[in-house]
Structure 1
């Protein structure tokens, strides 16, 4: 299937001489949730701004559902909804007027039923007549999302959408995003809350220093790059790890009561079974065990550190 967003050779150098993007090639599949992760200054917002027509690229091409963002910008932009990182709203207007006006900007006819549904989905209906300036930061963030959805885009960009939003509201927003994905909307997000990407994303892209260093299905990424850990709580303190077990990557706690075995996610658990048998052969018994695996955040940090 043709990617809904296709980026080729994209570069951006600002007047100051700073090169924010360096030869970006990227395909985003239709109907997926794509998480773009990277440290501050990596180029995330610049990349989004170029695709959305806010910033002009220095070189390269971008197509949105087959429409070039420069030569066919009107058609490309009509497919996109953007929730920027910064809060920019018509402070003196009501929530209803602000969202309705955004729909009109794209030449869409009035649709009060649609606006009502969006406001209800975002728990904004009770505030529809309130001035935007009177709302809390979290409520203003929801108004930004409502504006982005008002013209029924097929692609939704969310640049740090839950920044400054409380945990309960964040959960509600992600439930709404899940429903949008189910309706066929392609969602591209940047977030500092990597647990959100771990929970919601289908595909993860990592950008660092203006370059895309990895694009991978989330499940495959965690399988390939993740580390797992088995921790055994020993029945009796162990003074040292037996020399016969030195070929295993084992670590003994300072008090000798916990034995930790680390292994790659790619390896089967047969190594654990063999290890447990060998421990038994040496009279090392345990009272409890637990396993843990790397989070997406740990993988992200290790990837960025390797490419610096």
Structure 2
């Protein structure tokens, strides 16, 4: 049963989404669609300059200074209600040690995005600021009916906000990787596995003690998933997690045997097959919010 305590407040009517490109550049033809897609959802849009480039080093939407300035300006702009990433790729890691933490604390605007934006969510979570792991306009929303359905579902969630007790999705079908039957509650942490592992040994790695750890990835063969998980294990990052939520692992051979080898005997609840990540459907997940994972009912609630 939901109560009236908002964990992530609803956006106002006709909210303005500030679009930034903290990671990779938009692919050809996708940028022109972004504002019409946002407006079609009933929001207003403000594109910050880095979305238009010029690209830097071939794989960054703009140079570090421009991408950092866009993030700061979006957070500080009184007309922007939430900040959304244009797409993923790579680049957020390069900004972490230069982000204005005082501005983050003061602004507390929701950040919407996933993939490489896992790094930004990790920093914000350290400061007690939640955000949405969710599909982004230049990489996901334009992908046919399924991509648009994900955009509509995200807009609905942004308008409703998130309260204690809210369901984060329907009950899942049984999955061979599921473990346990008793519910567990912990801070929802993580996101993209490769990006999370890149944070190990830095001041920006989230504290996973007592957390419900969410993992997803794309284009990583099973042996690479093995290596990434082994690095997490050797670093002690898995020692005290309370539960595990496994999302999609796409565009490579399924890593189920590897996942079972690492997580089958941890003695913690595991809920697998959650529809979030580089996939459709892609349900929004509130990173930095306490959630209840129930492997018996195969559900997730705030």
Answer whether TM exceeds 0.5 for this pair.
no
The structure in which a higher percent of residues are helix is 1
**Which of the two has higher C-alpha Rg?**
1
TM-score scaled by length of structure 2: 0.33
TM-score scaled by length of structure 1: 0.33
The structure in which a higher percent of residues are strand is 1
